[in-house]
Amino acid sequence: MNILVVGATGVAGSAFVEHIREQHANGTCDWKVTGVTRRSQSGDRQKAGRNEAQITAVEPGSVSYITADLLSDYGSLKALRDITHVVFAGFVPAPDFAQQVAPNRDILINCLRALDGNPLQRIVLIQGMKYYGSHLGPFKTPAREDDPRHAGDNYYYAQQDVLEQSGIDWTCLRPHVICGTTSIGTPQNILSVIGVYASLTRAAGRALTWPGTAESYSSINQATDAGLLARAIAWSLQSPDAANQAFNVTNGDFFRWQHLWPKVAEVFNMPVGEVETQVLSEKMPLLSDDWQKLIRQFNLQPNAMDSIAHWPFADYILRTGWDVMASTIKIRQSGFSECSDTEQMYLAHLSTLQSQRVLPS
């Protein structure tokens, strides 16, 4: 298998790449992987070079990267040969959902155009619960893969229509709130959002109040561990039962923030507070200097606040005042049966970020 990963530095893409690296290291996988990103990689990862269209060599058992903008520079992908599978986790932000449709449809179309002539066998598209309208208000729960599409614009629909018309086998995976520690440079990461908020609240000598609404504090919720999603992607690339199917993929359990939040407070060694609804996108950017003080005080990695915490994303996630639940019976019956304890996942990941000096302990 020769896999192209679009969005290789995002939460889902980076988790899959890391999973393949681990499989390479223990000798259980020799898949070739090329990651597409809008910025070049450094450290132990190969850089794409000064020319953004330049492509690093793909060798068996390795991970290589290219930099490309699939809206304007997709021609650079035409140099790729023998790509057999695509993991598509790319995303183009826009001010609202209606304006997200065209660019996110187009980057998928451009990717397929650039790979024309490659022996493509399957494309795995990462979607999410917004497929069911989870961002619009209360929706039918538990959501099932055959639920009808909601009214209005949704780029997931446009992308899935492209795949269904492509003549190539496809799989759509629908996680919710992907949690992982391999993509802290991606601001839409709920772990770093919670961690930065908790750290600054503690530094101010205050209890860990819940910044969302009372409704969101008590609603039923779910999440998807990034490692679990990575293994689901690997399964869906290979399984005959995954061909031309959509699957919800979450940890398989449910939780309420009101039960998890006191345990988050314990991770940061602070008392838990009450509900204190706030607009984090207005308040938190004013505290960027305070975050820099914490970096110096605790010798943290020099991550600017806005590079690891996207506060409008936090307002959306922490103020969703309705149940968000998806059935995962279809993917289990089809052969992928992994699950994870969501409360334990959150606590373990936050502790990992402390040990990595992303967050103060």
Q: What is the DSSP string of 11-64?
A: HHHHHHHHHHHHHHHTTS---EEEEEESS---TTSPP--SSTT-B----TT-EE
Query: Are residue 131 and residue 102 in the same domain, yes or no?
Result: yes
Higher pLDDT, 49 or 354: 354
- Shared domain check, 152 and 103: yes
Residue 130 domain-assigned (yes or no): yes
Return the DSSP state at 187. S
The pLDDT of residue 51: 29
Domain that holds residue 260: 190-222+254-324+340-355
Place 61 in a pLDDT band, splitting at 50, 70 and 90. low
pLDDT at 43: 38
φ/ψ of 3, rounded to 5, equals: -110, 130
Asked if residue 291 is part of any domain, the answer here is yes
Burial of 220 (0-12, 13-18, 19+ CB in 10 A): middle
Beta strands in 169-207 (DSSP E): 169-174, 178-179
How many distinct structural domains can be found in the chain? Answer: 2
Residues 165, 218 within the same domain: no
Determine the pLDDT at residue 341. 98
Judgement on whether residues 206 and 227 belong to the same structural domain of the protein: no
Do both 149 and 18 map to the same domain?
Answer: yes
pTM to 2 decimals? 0.92
Q: pLDDT for 137-146, tens place per residue?
A: 999 999 999 9
- For residues 132 and 212, membership in a common domain is answered with no
Mean pLDDT over residues 238-242, rounded? 98
- What is the DSSP code string of 200-260? HHHHTT--EEE-S-HHHHHSEE--EEHHHHHHHHHHHHH-GGGTTEEEE-S-S--EEHHHH
Assess whether pLDDT exceeds 60 at residue 60: no
Higher pLDDT, 43 or 350: 350
pLDDT of residue 347: 98
- With residue 88 as reference, give the H or E element that holds it: strand 85-88
Note whether 129 and 259 are same-domain residues: no
331: in domain: no
**Same domain flag for 102 and 227:** yes
pLDDT for the residue numbered 47: 32
Q: Is residue 67 part of a domain?
A: yes
194-234: pLDDT as tens digits = 999 999 999 999 999 999 999 999 999 999 999 999 999 99
- Whether 69 and 194 map to the same domain: the answer is no
Both 44 and 166 in one domain: the answer is yes
Phi, psi torsion values for 2, nearest 5 degrees: -125, 105
Q: Is the pLDDT of residue 41 over 80?
A: no
Find the radius of gyration of the CA atoms of the chain: 20
Residue 360, domain member (yes or no): no
Query: pLDDT-based confidence at 54, cuts 50/70/90?
Result: very low
Task: List the CATH number of the domain containing 56.
Answer: 3.40.50.720
Whether 194 and 318 map to the same domain: the answer is yes
- Please indicate, yes or no, if residue 14 is contained in any of the structural domains: yes
Residues 314-353 pLDDT 10s: 999 999 999 999 999 999 999 999 999 999 999 999 999 9
In a shared domain, residues 194 and 74: no
